[in-house]
Amino acid sequence: MQVDWNGPGDVVADLLRSGYLADSSLATAVFLSAKMNLPLYLEGEPGVGKTALAIAVANAVHRPLIRLQCYEGIDRESALYDWNYPRQLMHVRLAESSGRTVDAAIEDELYSERYLIARPLLQAISPKGPAPVLLIDEIDRSDDEFEAFLLEVLSEFQVTIPEIGTIRAVEYPLVFLTSNRSREVHEALKRRCLYQWLPYPTFDRELAIVTRLYQDLPQDLAMTLVNMVQRLRQEPLHKAPGIAETLDWAKAVGILSKTKLSPAVVEETLGCLIKYREDLERLTAVQTPLGSKLEQILKDVGLADGTRSL
């Protein structure tokens, strides 16, 4: 993809204007992906900003975003193209009602671009405008067969439709693949990509993200929010809160017009951070004479003095 970036610093600046705070390592990966026409494979825990990065890049370069959401059982027809069977059938019936014989000419009409339904991959290879940003989300939810098909498409950025012919990308899209690492993706697909691991952010980085997006949030409150989330990530939870959950929590606290956190506020808004019943029970169950795990965490971050028990 042709982009007006002279180096990773331009990527950092453009993403910042789009509301995404990228470090130099991530910005370098995005820059090289665009300049080398190689997909960028983003791996990390859910909620660390993989999908948000692709959205921010699309906004930054003023290109449309095309998203292919992977799921168990996804196949090439769902990702590439299909035929509009109801319209084809209507065409045949109209032809018959007008006295035409269904012959090779009719068949050619049926299998033309007029009746082609372009799915995300075909939309990205043959866009109606400039090359888009293509987000292939949660590739780890697909199977080996789909991975092999995807590798073929990403290697050449062209597809062959038997009834129409070969369609090639005039300009390569900027491609992002994301994985939550629920399973290992085949190394052949990874070798075709640049790779970037997205970890949970440090305290300072997460605080910068929160305060940039929610500038009306008091600094002390933002620091306490981030400190609480960072402490929760140290627990053996089924699903630790990611950046997305931190931002949801900050937004919720702002909507509730809270200027500081208390154990009661944490309890009332815990659903912004914890998304599994087992994790909630693990945190709130009284396990020691010191109270529940959540009460201990609240003490660790300085929120337990002079408040009621959870």
- In the chain, alpha helices (H): 8-17, 24-36, 50-61, 76-79, 85-97, 104-110, 120-125, 144-156, 187-191, 203-213, 219-232, 243-255, 263-268, 277-284, 293-300
The C-alpha R_g of the chain, in whole angstroms, comes to 25
40 with 136, same domain? yes
Q: Across residues 4-25, what is the average pLDDT?
A: 96
> 183, 198, 213 — which closes off a domain?
198
231 with 276, same domain? yes
114 with 222, same domain? no
Q: Rounded distance, CA 120 to CA 153, Å?
A: 12
255 with 294, same domain? yes
> 145, 179, 198 — which closes off a domain?
198
Structural domain tally of the chain?
3
**pTM for this prediction:** 0.88
114 with 125, same domain? no
Q: What are residue 292's phi and psi, to 5 degrees?
A: -75, 165
Q: How many CB atoms lie within 10 A of CB 287?
A: 13
Give me the CATH number covering residue 153: 3.40.50.300
Please write the tens of the pLDDT for every residue from 41-100: 999 999 999 999 999 999 999 999 999 999 999 999 999 999 888 887 887 888 778 777
175 with 103, same domain? no
Domain that holds residue 288: 203-300
In a domain, 37, yes or no: yes
In a domain, 20, yes or no: yes
281 with 214, same domain? yes
In a domain, 306, yes or no: no
Please write the tens of the pLDDT for every residue from 182-208: 999 999 999 999 999 999 999 999 999
Confidence of residue 253 (pLDDT cuts 50, 70, 90): very high
- Asked whether 81 and 117 are in contact (CB, 8 A), the reply is yes
- Asked whether 142 and 68 are in contact (CB, 8 A), the reply is no
- 101-115, 230-244, 262-276: lowest mean pLDDT where? 101-115
Q: What angle do CA 55, 56, 59 make, to 5 degrees?
A: 90
